[in-house]
Structure 1
Amino acid sequence: MSLPQGFDKYIAPDTDRLKFLQDYLLTRSVQTSVVSVAGRKHLFVNFPSSSYNPRFKIKTILTHYDRVSGSPGANDNSAANFQIADFAIRLKKAIDLGAVPNIRIFFTDGEELGEGGVSGQGAFGLAELFKKLGITNDDVYVFDSCGRGQVAVLAQAGLSQAQSKNSSFAKKFISLFERTQNLLRTSCQNSWITLPVPYSDNAGFLALGIPAVAITLLPKEEVSDYQRALLSDKNLESEVMNCRMDDSADKLPRFKYEEKMPVTWRLFHTPYDNALSLTEESFDVMRKILDTLAASRTLA
């Protein structure tokens, strides 16, 4: 398949991925700033104030750029990094022509380092900063592992808890979840689904009461196999929902559940999460999703 220019360098073992992203965007006229929070370095894309309209909700996009040592991290999470970096470049060109997309983009650090639970995850500190600054009304979208497959998967994380409550947060989360379903319905037509998916950067935001949804991609045959596994093993959903996206394969009871997980997730943290595992159609799917998101409007 044809990968974006520079992708092989980005997944090379010794690449400074933060600097790579800074340089990749800067050479394409997109300015960025490093936001240091709790020892993590998040990269924020600087769009001009003219690209925001306070009448509408801001759509905040998160994609973690860190990876586990020893794995190229092609799908977890380099593909989404490139997809969103190229999206930022398209947005900048549109903004220069007068577009007002109301998009905020962060490349986050520390998603793979949350051994201490949700509070140890890099995005938790970012969510704390959002809350401290009073930024709690954004629509937060997390894109994780979006380089393999053609089916967009909206994670069900947070949904059952929200449906059982009548709080302001629950109402906001359900509204965001439903609007995200509409987003995928518009951009992907019949190639999308909601499924139990391990937590990603959305965990930190949900823990602090800020609505956030996560989107990933899977091959359609893996979706079918996973659906059958969920129907045949009633414990599988709870096991999946109690782990993170980055540890789904190696933290679940190995022999009992690993074979029931999508193959894509079993590649995480291994040398096989490489460029050969990616699929070209994933980049087309993500472009449609992101461009549809940019065009969407929700009153604040």
Structure 2
Amino acid sequence: MSRPNFAKANGVDLAWDSFGDPGATPLLLIMGLGASMIAWDEVFCAHLAAAAGVHVIRFDNRDVGLSTSLSHLGVPDVQALMMKALARQNFTVPYTLQDMANDAAGLMDTLGIARAHIVGASMGGAIGQEMAIHHPGRMLSFTSIMSSTGDPTLPPPTPEAMAMLFTPAPPTLEAFILHYAKVWRVLRGPHSFPDDEARDAERARAAFARGLNPAGTARQLAAIFASGNRKPALRNTHVPTLVIHGDADPLVPVEAGIDVAAAIPDAKILRLPTMGHALPVSLWPPLIEGIGNHTARNVLTR
């Protein structure tokens, strides 16, 4: 792994690092709500780079990790915004997912990357959808993992998973370690993943050391609410797309992944029966194989 670097992109500074041969075809990983790039595990990234023969790049989205924190934009009332979104009322937010997609495209500009494979998880998948809508020429392929079109008629999260969205991270390390384990017990769903449970404390310490930004997470969540239903626009996209979704996802139910695959022309879907809203170690092999096969099929198609 290279040391973290910083790049100016779309008016913000983004922290990034990379894995594999810099001369190989680039693959950009986009992480989800409130999670920094280290949520893409280093070992996962290294294995993906080797197995797919790509140059894997991960980065901190705006308002998380070491990237620019937009504290001057204030802290939105996300519960009020969610209610307005459900009622289809107008409201303003600090920024949208399209702005975050522009960040990713701007990072590619700064790194001198004309086109890349894009892989997004959860909110990162929605950001990838915005790229497919607004920057399709920059994408060799797209892999959307545990994400949604934003269609308000889709099944909602379980109450337990929804509660995790509105539970702020505690400010002390000891409390945060307990909070982190609780969150991932819920998000991983009903199946047991002992390898990940054993790593929760270590991962919590790493996330805490990198820095918590609850206000930034609120601004990202507001961006999700404001971005609405992407399904009509996705029907007119033509980026080769693979959808990966877990049948046991408590936060973004599998119906949402099916909806993404149905919305994007010619998209393929890979459903993993035991996967919840997480990327557990035991499921890395099918995840890496699926992404690798998809990128191999599409590296020369655009």
Q: Taking structure 1 as the reference length, what is the TM-score of the superposition?
A: 0.41
